[in-house]
């Protein structure tokens, strides 16, 4: 080996394979959709969380002398109300900032409830198969047959609209996709060698599911979670717009659009502004979800 | 085929029964429905009268079987608001919504299938990106807000279409777009991925090698097979659109099934709410059943597994 002639005098540099973490970081930084989504979401998140510091006014404080003041880009707009005021003279920017908290709160909590229900059902169906699978599939089919918006409207209207109620109802209604995706992901791994090995060493079922299975289907879980979050945010906005979700005077974006609708022919920005922010929030969550799917499972990209 | 269809029909029946029970129980989530029926300030004797009149003093299961038995004969009870049979009113309103739903579906298909085909033939070009962007945007757009923006642009600014109502075809243009765009992402992605799969298959290569024209390969050989998965989603999306009509019909003040649903919920018209949820769910069950059977007819592989 040492007598070979063409070798350079120095030893070859060892081939360094990128660690999984490095690969992931490289893919993340190359994925503009993920970066854009994450960037916008971080801004919206920071703006909502810091609302008490950033908001120039109390979002509930009415000022009937200064009703429907135009935003600053209008000729008669002023910097004292950068985004104008609504029909009751409340500062629109302050309401918008506090409204973000409601959307995010509902998105995260409704997603968690539905995620808990849906993933438990889906993993059980995929892992145990047989009768359990039949029952879960039946539950999913039945759930899909019920029109979400109509059932949510009816329940919230009959029981009475409040923030916890809306969260509860949405959480109990939108678990279907969790169940479907977790079921098929679990099925794919069910007969993998590392599951059999864990079974052979005598691990309990719960331990196998939590320690072996869950980490391997986590990426799919996160992707479905982002979808559920944006779905919950959109549904809350629609319910509040129809007057059967979050109740006034809470500054929910859907409610702001409903209140602005009265004046939409003269002051269209009253509905354009909250709608745009709502759209941006959902868009950024979806872009992040798509990005996570691409980054964690590049072989699945089409 | 027969065995598959029978199995599928049995499942649909089972789902239908469960759904009927859920829609029956829906109006009982808040406890005693007599309060909602009699009004807020009803006295104890009025409540008792309402309970007797609607048979609410019987066990819940007895009430359910009674209700379901009548429903099978086409009697879903009387609306305390309209003082008329629920079925008569719903039948009237459902026509309007069906027209809206079908035109929204047609709008979505006409736009998304050609886009999906072109995106599959020319992947990673500007048109593919445009199609992807359109579907990403579409999924993030709140439908009621999109409807309002359409009104602002096309009714208020340009004055092309009326703001609301449902008396002529011009009234239906904006609601059709607002309701239909919702189905575009799903249809387009399915068409695109289906076409991509099919275009790389052996029989397409054979067809090309035989010297067939490109258009004939794409439309006669490829699209026919690629479109199969879209068929089942069409049924599902039509079901979603009928559900979504609750929101869109409120935005555009269209006197259809969706607006009826919304108004009935607002005025706590319980028999009407039960009937509407039941009918919408049953439409969905029937649509998905038909789609599955049609799918099995078109694609023999589904029947076997």
Segment B253-301, tens digit of pLDDT: 888 889 999 999 988 888 899 899 999 999 999 998 988 888 888 777 7
Number of H helices, E strands in chain A: 13, 0
With b for 16 or more beta-carbon neighbours within 10 A and e for fewer, the B25-41 pattern comes to ebbbebeebbebbbeee
pLDDT of residue B198: 85
A290 touching chain B per CB within 8 A: yes
Closest to A279 (Cβ–Cβ): which among B27, B29, B141? B141
Q: Is B24 within a domain?
A: no
Q: Is B8 within a domain?
A: no
| Domain co-membership, B44 together with B138 | no
* Cβ-contact B78, B90 below 8 angstroms: no
pLDDT of residue A302: 40
* Cβ-contact B182, B240 below 8 angstroms: yes
Other CB atoms within 10 A of residue B126 CB: 8
| Domain co-membership, B48 together with B104 | no
Total domains in the fold of chain B? 2
Q: Is B66 within a domain?
A: yes
Q: Is B166 within a domain?
A: yes
Residues in chain A within 8 Å Cβ distance of B144: 237-238, 241-242, 254, 257
| Domain co-membership, B71 together with B92 | no
* Cβ-contact B107, B180 below 8 angstroms: yes
ipTM of the complex: 0.87
| Domain co-membership, B194 together with B124 | yes
| Domain co-membership, B56 together with B109 | no
Closest by Cα among A156, A183, A182, A145 to A252: A156
Paired strand residues for A85 = A91
Q: What is the pTM of this model?
A: 0.88
Confidence bin at A4 (pLDDT 50/70/90): low
Residues in chain A within 8 Å Cβ distance of B281: 145-147
Say whether pLDDT at A2 is over 70.
no
Confidence bin at A300 (pLDDT 50/70/90): very low
Distance CA B234, CA B55 (A): 41
Q: Which of B75, B104, B137 is the last residue of a domain?
A: B75
Lookup: tokens for B172: 């239906």
Residues in chain B within 8 Å Cβ distance of A159: 29-30
| Domain co-membership, B96 together with B118 | yes
Mean pLDDT along residues A78-107: 87
* Cβ-contact A269, A84 below 8 angstroms: yes
pLDDT tens by residue, A236-288? 999 999 988 888 888 899 999 998 888 888 888 889 999 999 999 999 999 99
A146 touching chain B per CB within 8 A: yes
Q: Is B270 within a domain?
A: yes
| Domain co-membership, B131 together with B91 | yes
B223 touching chain A per CB within 8 A: no
| Domain co-membership, B63 together with B158 | no
Which residues, given as ranges, of chain B have pLDDT below 70? 30-31, 39-40, 165-167, 304-305
A261 touching chain B per CB within 8 A: yes
Q: Which of B52, B75, B98 is the last residue of a domain?
A: B75
Lookup: tokens for B174: 């904006």
Average pLDDT of the residues of chain A:
87
Distance CA B64, CA A195 (A): 46
CATH number for the domain spanning B261: value is: 1.10.3720.10
| Domain co-membership, B63 together with B163 | no
| Domain co-membership, B56 together with B176 | no
A261: enclosing H helix or E strand: helix A253-261
A108 touching chain B per CB within 8 A: no
Q: Is B174 within a domain?
A: yes
Distance CA B302, CA B296 (A): 5
Q: How far is CA A121 from CA A75, A116, A127, in A?
A: 57, 9, 10
pLDDT tens by residue, A141-200? 999 999 999 999 999 888 887 889 999 999 999 999 999 999 999 998 888 899 999 999
Q: Cβ-count burial of A63 within 10 angstroms (0-12 exposed, 13-18 middle, 19+ buried)?
A: middle
pLDDT of residue A301: 44
Q: Is B21 within a domain?
A: no
Q: Is B17 within a domain?
A: no
| Domain co-membership, B53 together with B162 | no
Q: Which of A74-78, A230-234, A288-292 has the highest mean pLDDT?
A: A230-234
Mean pLDDT along residues A62-86: 80
| Domain co-membership, B132 together with B61 | no
Instruction: Give the domain extent around B257.
Output: 87-303
């Amino acid at each position: 080996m040492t007598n070979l002639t063409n070798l350079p005098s120095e030893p070859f540099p060892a081939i360094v394979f990128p660690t999984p973490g490095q690969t992931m970081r490289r893919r993340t930084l190359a994925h503009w959709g993920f970066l854009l989504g994450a960037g916008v979401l971080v801004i919206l998140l920071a703006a909502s969380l810091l609302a008490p510091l950033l908001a120039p006014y109390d979002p509930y404080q009415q000022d009937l002398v200064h009703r429907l003041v135009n935003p600053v880009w209008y000729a008669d707009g002023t910097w004292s109300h950068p985004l104008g005021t609504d029909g009751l003279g409340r500062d629109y920017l302050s309401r918008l900032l506090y409204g973000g908290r409601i959307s995010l709160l509902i998105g995260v909590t409704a997603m968690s409830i539905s995620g808990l229900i849906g993933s438990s059902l889906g993993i059980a169906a995929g892992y145990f198969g047989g009768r359990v699978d039949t029952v879960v599939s039946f539950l999913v089919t039945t759930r899909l047959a019920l029109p979400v918006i109509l059932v949510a409207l009816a329940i919230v209207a009959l029981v009475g609209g409040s923030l916890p109620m809306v969260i509860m109802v949405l959480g109990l209604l939108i678990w279907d996709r969790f169940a479907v995706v977790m079921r098929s992901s679990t099925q794919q791994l069910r007969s993998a060698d590392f599951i059999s090995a864990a079974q052979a060493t005598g691990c309990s079922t719960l331990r196998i599911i939590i320690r072996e299975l869950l980490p391997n289907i986590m990426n799919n879980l996160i992707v479905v979670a982002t979808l559920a979050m944006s779905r919950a945010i959109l549904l809350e906005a629609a319910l509040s717009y129809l007057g059967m979700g979050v109740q006034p005077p809470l500054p929910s974006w859907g409610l702001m659009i409903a209140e602005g609708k009265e004046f939409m022919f003269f002051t269209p920005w009253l509905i354009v502004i909250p709608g745009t922010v709502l759209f941006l929030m959902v868009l950024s969550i979806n872009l992040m979800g798509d990005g996570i799917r691409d980054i964690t499972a590049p072989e699945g990209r089409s | 085929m027969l065995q598959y269809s029978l199995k599928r029909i049995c499942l649909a029946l089972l789902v239908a029964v469960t759904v009927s029970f859920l829609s029956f129980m829906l109006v009982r989530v808040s406890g005693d429905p007599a309060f909602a029926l009699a009004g807020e300030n009803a006295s104890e004797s009025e409540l008792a009268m309402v309970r007797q009149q609607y048979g609410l003093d019987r066990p819940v299961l007895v009430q359910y079987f009674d209700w379901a038995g009548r429903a099978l004969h086409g009697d879903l009870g009387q609306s305390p608001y309209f003082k008329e049979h629920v079925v008569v009113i719903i039948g009237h309103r459902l026509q309007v919504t069906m027209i809206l739903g079908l035109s929204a579906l047609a709008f979505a298909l006409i736009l998304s299938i050609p886009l999906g085909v072109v995106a599959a033939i020319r992947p990673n070009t500007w048109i593919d990106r445009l199609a992807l962007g359109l579907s990403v945007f579409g999924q993030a757009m709140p439908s009621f807000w999109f409807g309002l923006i359409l009104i602002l642009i096309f009714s208020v600014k340009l004055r092309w279409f009326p703001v609301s109502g449902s008396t002529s075809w011009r009234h239906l243009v904006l609601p059709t777009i607002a309701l239909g765009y919702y189905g575009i992402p799903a249809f387009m992605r399915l068409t695109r991925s289906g076409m991509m799969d099919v275009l790389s298959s052996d029989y397409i290569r054979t067809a090309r090698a035989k010297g067939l024209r490109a258009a004939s390969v794409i439309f006669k050989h490829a699209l026919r097979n690629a479109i199969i998965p879209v068929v089942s989603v069409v049924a599902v999306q039509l079901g979603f659109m009928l559900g979504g009509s609750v929101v869109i019909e409120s935005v555009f003040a269209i006197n259809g099934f969706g607006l009826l649903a919304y108004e009935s919920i607002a005025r706590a018209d319980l028999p009407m709410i039960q009937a509407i949820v039941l009918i919408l769910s049953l439409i969905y069950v029937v649509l998905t059943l038909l789609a599955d059977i049609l799918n099995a007819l078109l694609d023999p592989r589904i029947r076997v597994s």
